Structure 1
Amino acid sequence: MRSFLSKLTTIDEKDLTTKEKKIVEYIKGHLKEIVDTNMKIERMAQEAGTGYSAIYGLLKKLNIKGFRDFAISLANDAENQEINVAKDDENVVSAYINLIKQNYALIEKRSIFESLTLLKQAKGNRIFFCYWENLLSGPASELSNFFYKEGFNAHLLDSDQETLKDRINTSSENDVFVFFTRYGNSKRLDSFIENIGESNRKIIYISGKVPSSDVLKYLSSIHTLIVDNPDQTMYKGHISYSVPFNYFNDLLMYHFLNMEE
């Protein structure tokens, strides 16, 4: 994904070190200067008041491969900020398109096919589609209904603790759990994922944040989405929370219907 600001939204601020936060703050406040002067890492570290290791540590967390790719992503962000968009309804259209483009660049096709393989292998068993926040009930319900109509034993769940415990305790080896979460920072959700993972069940994780290190080893397939508007200078209005998840659903369903057996 060629956007530093977009990738930044997938990381919780609490997961950044003090020096990494200083770098982020400096970049946001001096983006145009950094790009116009083709700023090198030496000067950036000096201006931000950090060392090289903090910059490279931040890039590693954002899965940006080297300073060259970092510079390209910043140039793209600067260009987006300079785009003059019409001030009426086109603002909303532009914001939707921008958010979908960011997710198009971020979502890996390899991960899509990993999830589709897991789901197809679960035919004859159960697939539990669980939305952790009520605002994602629509996307989770849509995907659950799609697989039900395709002949799968699909079940829709919310974050009710007792129901989840029961489904975990009565699940079988080839059952799959699919979690939708916008925020991905719930200790209770992490606890359920840990219980499911220790039971050797498959887990597909769809979230607006990268998973915590505590649960990473239990996840069979991971999809991290851009769920927040990455550029407030371009558009300051509201974008429906479900938009990125609906796009992901459509992508998954399209490849399911066109995937060779």
Structure 2
Amino acid sequence: MAQVKALVITGYGTNCHAESAHAATQAGADSATVVYFSDLVAGRNRLEDYNFLIFPGGFLDGDDLGAAQAAALRWKFAKTKDGHALLDQLKAFFNAGGLVMGICNGFQLLVKLGLLPGLNGEYFDRQVSLSLNDSAKFEDRWVQLKANPNSPCVFTKGIDTLDLPIRHGEGKLIPKDDATLQALIDNNLIALQYAHPESGAPTQEYPFNPNGSPHAIAGLTDPSGRVLGLMPHPEAFNHKTNHPNWTRGIDTQLGTVLMENAVNHLKGQ
């Protein structure tokens, strides 16, 4: 059984790294190491030593130039101390079978870096983006999510619905064109959708869809199913008392189930 070694990247405004590392170990990872981006550049840590990479939430570079835009450029052009492109490490990590999760600001980074959605195998080529909520304000609330049972995503296997908190100002998915959106639908790369709490069906109705994302998109995967980016925060629902309705005795699945699925996938290799 393979050991699961999670790596959580922090720095430049990331602020959910501790919760993400805690959630990973709670989900069964053998270790969860928090590392600054600058440590990767300096060569003090290498992606090849891990198999579960987490880009947590926060406000990378203060969201200047757009959420995670500056960070995407940093990843694309950074060189390690020995002169090699850091992006090559990320490509090698993915090609070796590693799992990648991007949460909120991490999701924004993955789409602007082009690791998601990877349509037609075109990775690291931006095909979608995430932009300002239709409400033109920061949204902070709990939402219900519907998982796509036909998605290849290893993180969402066996999940029907899930309650998670969101807190973002730029969560509306913007596809490059109508054909790109249709390809996401046709290839089942929409892993999670905002759902109406009464019907359980995907919805465009505000505030249940908090940002106006088309087709109620809350999370995307890639064709391999090994990358998941989502705007809601699974790491923030790691105990039943996190849920606003916990005192009513409502038993809901913890958000860490997404990470449990990732851990089980890796341990099964």
- Please say whether Structure 1 and Structure 2 have the same fold, judged by a TM-score greater than 0.5: no
Higher RCO (CA < 8 A, seq sep 6+): 1
| Bigger share in helix | 1
Q: Which has the larger radius of gyration?
A: 1
TM-score, reference length from structure 2: 0.35
TM-score with structure 1 setting the length = 0.36
Query: Larger strand proportion, structure 1 or 2?
Result: 2
